[in-house]
Chain A
Amino acid sequence: MSVEDLPRKESNILKEHDGAVLGVRFNSDGNYILSCGKDRTIRLWNPHRGIHIKTYKSHGREVRDVHVTPDNSKLCSCGGDRQVFYWDVATGRVIRKFRGHDGEVNAVKFNEYSSVVVSAGYDQSLRAWDCRSHSTEPIQIIDTFADSVMSVCLTKTEIIGGSVDGTVRTFDIRIGRETSDSLGQPVNCISMSNDGNCILAGCLDSTLRLLDRSTGELLQEYKGHTNKSYKLDCCLTNNDAYVTGGSEDGYIYFWDLVDASVVSRFRAHTSVVTSVSYHPKENCMVTASVDGTIRVWKT
């Protein structure tokens, strides 16, 4: 994939959110996106046709993160109301509310089988919630973090959390081991490479850092954007060739994965770009911003 193939043309703009959009995520096949925002709603869109499909309302405060199961049947979301909501996509009803976090919940993810929701909270903990049983108690609380946990990633066997305490902690369920990689800077967002070997960590010193997961080595640093006070997302393109992320000045940056050069940057929003999500297969990207819009980018 050459630089020309990077999604830099705005193909759609989705404006329904009242206020900042805090997160936007492709579903597993890339046909739909879910967004969440300050207006306490979660919205389901078809980004390719620019259609707003559904709104999910139940959160009492802003919704900070949302994730959908691979089979598109369930949603999980979290936010400022300290709860994790487990939704039925079709009916738009809340199936379960998981209470237990002592603070805002920053991020949620389903595991591979959609049986567990793992949430990352301001209360310095990761909590795993069982979707199969009727219990609303967490089945696991990981509280080794020293500060707010901002982001969480799941693999088939691991739970990975990034925290403001500057660590990316990997919890391997198979061997019962916690691996802590301290970056020395507050970690805002972690994102797995598609081959699963690396972790991209967005730090609050306006730097994205690429870590080798097996050794904990710092492979590369990506700079140029501004990220000092907001929780901004970053991710890799679907072929792991480029790193992309938003900036607090409304720009989107593309870096070359290997040599860390900025291959492209353009102004995408009028305000902070809070979230980016890359299509799992195509050259398509969605970005969300504090300006209340979601924009779909294609080549």
Chain B
Amino acid sequence: MDSDEDDFVFYGTPIQREEDLTSRKKKAIAESSAQLRTLPSWKQEVRDEEGRRRFHGAFTGGYSAGYYNTDLEGRFLGTSSQFDTFGFTAAEVARKEAEKEQKQRPSIIPGPVPDEIVLPATESVGVKLLLKMGWTRGRSIKDSHADALYDARRQARRAFLAFSSDDPKLKITGSESIKDDSENFPEPPVNEDIQSSKSTPVYVLNPKQDLYGLGFDPYKYAPEFRGKSAPGFGIGALEELDAEDEDVYATGYEFEDTYVQEIEEPAKLSLEFQKKKDQKDQGNLPGFRIASNSDYQMERFEAPLIPKDFVPHHAFSGPLEINHKNHGIPPPDVPPPEDSNLKILIEGVANLVARCGKLYEDLSREKNQSNPLFNFLLGGTGHEYYARKLWEAQQKCIDQPKQQLDGKAPPGVKRLTAESRGQILGERPLERSSHDPSPSDASTDVQLQFNLTDTFINSAASFSEIPDSEKPFKDDHAKQERFEQFLKEKYKGGLRSTSSSLAGDMSEAARARERIDFEAAAEAIEKGKHGKGNKLLFPSSMDFIPGGVMQFTSGAAEAKKDLQTEDLMGKKMYPKREEFQWRPSSLLCKRFDLIDPYMGKPPPAPRIRSKIDTLIFTSDSVKSNKVEKFIDVKQDISHVQETANQDISKSIAENEAEVDVEVENIERPVDLYKAIFSDDSDDEGEELNVKKMENQEKKAEVANTALSRLIAGDFLESLGKELGLEVPPDMPYPAQISRNAVLQKEIINENARSGNLMAENNSEMSQNHGLPNDQDIAHESGPSKVDAIYGNMLESGSTKTKGTSISNSKLSRSNRENGDDDRKLKSPVTSHRDYSSSLSSEEERKRKRSRHHRHRRHDAGSDSSSDDERDHHSSRSKGRKKGSSHEKSSGSRKHSKHHKHRRHESPSRSSHRSMEKDDTHPRKEKRRR
């Protein structure tokens, strides 16, 4: 676009079209003067010199900001015209061109230069002229200097030559000689020219724009970026090239090269990288050379002189030292005393002393002072022999630990000692210690064979010295022995006994089986040796099942399982089919043109992680309810004073019933809970019954109370013990009565109200369920007796429970009165209901999973989580209420069930009495909120 316009302009700047400008300017001036005259200053408009309204400052760097500025003539206005944002004037074109040019020009300040600082300028006339004369940018103007110097030298040399040789030819062929000279000239003129004529050094032309020092390697800590192809489209800058980005298919084919060629400047790039690599290889920084002799020299010290008599042996200053104080000077070998008994005694004592230390000697000396047999200890007969034996035994004791340290002779392993070998070779046995290293049960020829192989084969460090921990048959000593023999036969070669006499008593089949075991074990050990370099492979128990299948209990050895057996197992196991529930999204079904199998069902629950989770959840809510109750109870206690418990129990029963009505509605898969709560719904009808049937309840209630109280009391006690809570002494019945009586007054009042509320709730619910209220009422007549049982149950549990129900009703009343925030206020009530409903449901659950009960109890006992959480739960449980009790069957059946189980349940509630105190405070606060 620009080029089109500029086609005709070779020199100079195009002439601006003045007419337009001037006319506008005039108009502007006229306007502004008029404005100035007529308008107050705050009404005057800011216009530029061409009469256009201007934005303040933002686009012109503030030059035209403020309203008087525009009246200034000259510089400001001039610049603003140059920076006109909207108009596309000739000046604008010029500026753009200048900007373009500026980019090519070397700049002292790195980076883009702010326009305000450096005003764009077209080339000066001088530059233009120079350019026309053939000067190019970056060259110094006086580049003739070098040539001049060179010329001068040449002249001088020519003169010199001419003078010295005095040869006329030279003068004629001067030009040639000059040519030669120029060839021989140390600094070729071309080079010189280039080097000296450059006025602008490279670092100015390409200014350093970063802050990195010499030798900085940007890839030092990110080698993965070195030389890699550019990241692909859509790959974030932070995505590294991981292991997965490696070219797994790279075998034999170098595709990397082709990638590089695809990139715009492949050759240059690769060259650069090559160079960098080379430099790296040489360990050089660019511009540096490795010094031929370095200043830095490692200071070396001579090794310390070791005294000639130094013995590299650390002497321990311990009891051992005391023991062996005389081991340097062996006592003279003395013939044993004639008395063989004494000889044995001496030997035995010597061994013991050697093993147990000097202390033992002293002790026995002291003990046996009077005993003439032990005279040798006191320097009597046989003392020299004793000293000798003691020394021998001590020597042995010293050797043994050494051997063990070497790992060559663990205690349990047969090891050929000099004695045994001598014995084998038929030598007269020397005096031997009581510890006989050779197994006595092995028959002699086998022993011989063993020892022979041991003798013949030098590489003793293999299976004969399996450390104790590597013995796969540690438990069965005989078997272990056989195993070792097997190993020797297998790996050592040498003589071979065809019939293993060690396993002489075994049946052929058993032997064969054992042999398989041994094979497997040997293989495992071998593998372990190869793989882990003699590390302990079989840490603890490694059992070999007789069937030939190896079982490793340790995880490390698991991989060593026989592949074949694994294969066999794999075939047996796979393929394995499992089925799960899966919920396709409705949209997916739609797109697949299928009917959503879950259509109309509630949205899927967040995945149930495990059964335990859900259990914990329910118990949690239950607990919160309980706590609530207790608090209420406490508050109510103050009101409590006297009389008839019948009404109370009635009210309790009512509340209880009401509670039962509120069936747990759960945000979990429906079927599960359907299964659990299938017969919940009958309760709905009951709550209304309760009111009517109060009187009938009373009798049954009294009768049941005693019984259930007994049971509950027991249970409470045991539960309390279990939970580590202080179990309050069982309240005497009369006391309860009196309390109940007090409550009664209030309750009587409230019964009506709570009843109302209940009815309301009920209707609400029935609406939710699509059940008409009448139906519920029709139901009423039946289960009165059962309700009575409820009441009893509650009563029997503890006073506090009773109070609870009362307070609940109270609460509900207050809720009603307040009435403003239905949801929030109702929550305690609901939660209470929920609790009992969960109780009722619990029986069923109990039947299904016995675990539940424990869980719940545990939770309720230990957990005292925040109020908010409880709130949450209770509100949630409220939500559950809706649409829960779908299918309900006969109430009586259910209640009988309740009766059965309730006994166990109610005490668990009351057992939390002691917790109540702790929970009261936060509760109160919460209520105030």
Contact = CB atoms under 8 A, between A and B. Distances in A.
Contacts of A19: 249, 253, 255, 258
Contacts of A240: none
A180 B578 contact: yes
A234 interface: no
Chain B's interface size range is: 35 or more
A115 B587 CA distance: 11
A178 B232 contact: no
Nearest to A274: B249
Interface string B228-259: 00011111000000001101110111010011
The B contact surface, by secondary structure, is: loop
A81 interface: yes
Contacts of A173: 584, 588-589, 592, 594, 597
B587 A139 contact: yes
The A contact surface, by secondary structure, is: loop
Interface in A178-236: 178-185, 209, 211, 215-218, 229-230
Interface stretch (A6-14, A53-61, A277-285): A53-61
28 contacts: A18-B258, A19-B253, A19-B258, A20-B255, A38-B249, A40-B232, A58-B233, A61-B245, A81-B232, A81-B233, A81-B235, A111-B592, A112-B592, A116-B591, A122-B244, A140-B587, A166-B574, A176-B583, A177-B581, A180-B578, A181-B576, A183-B574, A184-B570, A185-B574, A216-B576, A229-B248, A271-B249, A290-B251
Given A83-B234, A144-B582, 4 more contacts: A80-B244, A139-B588, A144-B580, A176-B583
A243 B400 CA distance: 68
A156 interface: yes
B58 interface: no
Contacts of B244: 80, 104, 122
Chain A's interface size range is: 35 or more
A272 interface: yes
A178 B597 CA distance: 13
B559 to A, nearest CB: 16
Nearest to B577: A216
Contacts of A116: 588, 591-592
Given A112-B592, A139-B587, A178 B580 contact: yes
B287 interface: no
B593 A113 contact: yes
Contact of B253 (A97, A122, A215, A292): A292
A180 B587 contact: no
Given A80-B245, A183-B575, A290-B249, A176 B588 contact: no
Interface of A: 18-20, 38-40, 58-61, 80-81, 83, 97, 104, 111-113, 115-116, 122, 128, 130, 132, 139-140, 142, 144, 156-157, 166, 171-185, 209, 211, 215-218, 229-230, 270-272, 274, 290-292
A81 B233 CA distance: 8
A10 to B, nearest CB: 20
Interface string B550-593: 00000000000000000000100111111111111101110111
Contact of A180 (B252, B253, B573, B577): B577
Contact of A177 (B247, B579, B589, B595): B579
Contacts of A60: 231-235
Contacts of A156: 592
B772 to A, nearest CB: 34
A151 to B, nearest CB: 16
Contacts of B249: 19-20, 38, 230, 271-272, 274, 290
A132 B598 CA distance: 22
A283 to B, nearest CB: 29
A159 B619 CA distance: 39
A230 B592 contact: no
Interchain residue pairs A-B with the least CB separation, the first 5: A60-B232, A216-B577, A178-B582, A19-B255, A184-B574
B44 to A, nearest CB: 52
A180 B582 CA distance: 11
Contacts of A183: 574-575
B252 A181 contact: no
A178 B580 CA distance: 5
B575 A211 contact: yes
B599 to A, nearest CB: 10
A223 to B, nearest CB: 12
Contacts of B598: 176
A111 B582 CA distance: 19
B744 to A, nearest CB: 55
A81 B582 contact: no
Given A38-B249, A142-B582, A174 B235 contact: no
A59 B232 contact: yes
Contacts of A81: 232-235
A166 B570 CA distance: 12
Contact of B591 (A130, A177, A272): A130
B574 A182 contact: yes
A144 B589 CA distance: 19
A182 B582 contact: no
A216 B579 CA distance: 11
A81 B594 CA distance: 32
B581 A176 contact: yes
